[in-house]
Structure 1
């Protein structure tokens, strides 16, 4: 936890535009919440994985107000079977995604962490197209229940 909090402060000091947290924690931590609040107050977007919790709850910091909470869907736009439910803002592809392992080999992985990285990339593209003082105007395609899909699949306009 301490390393994550230090990393958030490091990012704030360097005035980054966006922080990707493709992981989460089961338990809340006041110091994590404080660091996230500081990042948000410095106009840094925070995108976090909702978690692979079998639909039982949403991980921290994705559950915090102001943090984009991301869940995963498959190629048929169905919720990933292990994905969290609850505070979900958007969903993105996160099932059977080809990734490189430490040996440089392509392997197939699934999870909300992959969907979070994808979403951070989409938001970064949108941010690069907009005046930094303008609301991003995120658009999405609704896919069903808000507890499962949030506002839906994030789209590039």
Structure 2
């Protein structure tokens, strides 16, 4: 009798996690109802170009089946080794597919890694310009720019306008300075500007904001991969932007697969209809039921 009780107890323990889902892994997965979103799309038709500090060799190997191209716009070669960490983290947040227990929002999206930011995080307008140009030439669907500047650049602005004309969705961070002005290029018309929210759905205290911002996504305690394949939790509009790019990949893929006509104006209009910058609780599924 004692043995029977022990066996039953073990079965209960084993099955106690049987009902767990992706939503249980991160608070923001639950907020976004990622399990339900993945019933509509995992971003398979979409290619995201990450203009950033590159990707570590270790994480590059993990995602090798989905990285379709690499480019270094600083040195004009394909060496995209990340020695900073920022780019590696952004890629895992947007497009991670479960390796090292890190899931991104769009785990089946394709990835182009463009190293345009130096080892110390310095941004050079010439390398950013070349990076955008390269992304356009590769006909990507989304450009993730998890960075920003207090100073606008006319050449970069024109190049982004060209990307938008080619129906590429450009996603950029508003900034982490707690100001009421979003950084460039997030402050450009047509760019999906992304604020950060905290765990409660409120605006993150350090997030830059503007009345013209398009969206706000979770940006606090976001899990990502470090240069040495370790899990780390980070805060910022950069992280929120990577989540936004993943969500937009799901949306664009859903529209594509269901023959729904769309352009960047529609995407921005749809995102604004969710009132992401105003509401704490958002129905992220609603755009997938049209």
Range class of TM-score, shorter chain: 0.7 to 0.9
1:97 to 1:26, Cα distance in 2 relative to 1, 3 A: same
Deviation at 1:5, TM superposition (A): 0.9
Residues in 2 aligned to 1:52 and 1:40: alpha-carbon distance in whole angstroms: 25
In structure 1, the partner of 2:151 is 27
C-alpha distance in 1 between matches for 2:172 and 2:216: 11
Equivalent-residue separation in structure 1 for 2:224 and 2:255 (angstroms)? 29
1:118 pairs with 2:243: yes
Residue 78 of structure 1 aligns to a residue in which SS?
coil
The whole-number CA distance in structure 2 between the counterparts of 1:110 and 1:154 is 23
Picking from 173, 192, 197, the partner of 1:68 is 192
Aligned residue number for residue 7 of structure 1 = 131
1:134 aligns with 2:261: yes
What is the rounded CA distance, in whole Å, between the counterparts of 1:123 and 1:67 in structure 2? 12
CA distance in 1, matches of 2:279, 2:185: 18
Q: Please state if 1:37 is matched with 2:161.
A: yes
Measured after TM superposition, the shift of residue 79 of structure 1 is 0.7
- Alpha-carbon distance in structure 2 between the residues aligned to 1:154 and 1:5: 36
Could you tell me which of 78, 81, 86 is aligned with 2:205? 81
Secondary structure at the aligned position of 2:186 is classed as coil
Is 1:17 the counterpart of 2:141 in the alignment?
yes
Match of 2:284 in 1: 155
* Greater displacement, 96-105 / 134-143: 134-143
User: Which structure: greater helix fraction?
Assistant: 2
Change (3 A) 1:45 1:54: same
Instruction: Give the deviation of 1:16 after TM superposition.
Output: 1.0
The structure carrying a bigger strand percent of its residues is 1
Q: In the comparison of the two structures, how many residue pairs are matched?
A: 152
Asked whether the 8 Å contact 1:97–1:108 carries over to 2, the reply is yes
Structure 1 segment 94-105 matched on structure 2, within 5 A: 94-105=219-230
Question: For the pair shown, which has the larger CA radius of gyration, 1 or 2?
Answer: 2
Give the secondary-structure state (helix, strand or coil) at the position aligned to 1:48. Answer: strand
Q: Contact 2:215 / 2:275 at 8 angstroms: preserved in 1?
A: no
Task: Indicate conservation of the 8 Å contact 1:92/1:119, yes or no.
Answer: yes
Q: Which runs of 5+ in 1 are unaligned?
A: 144-148
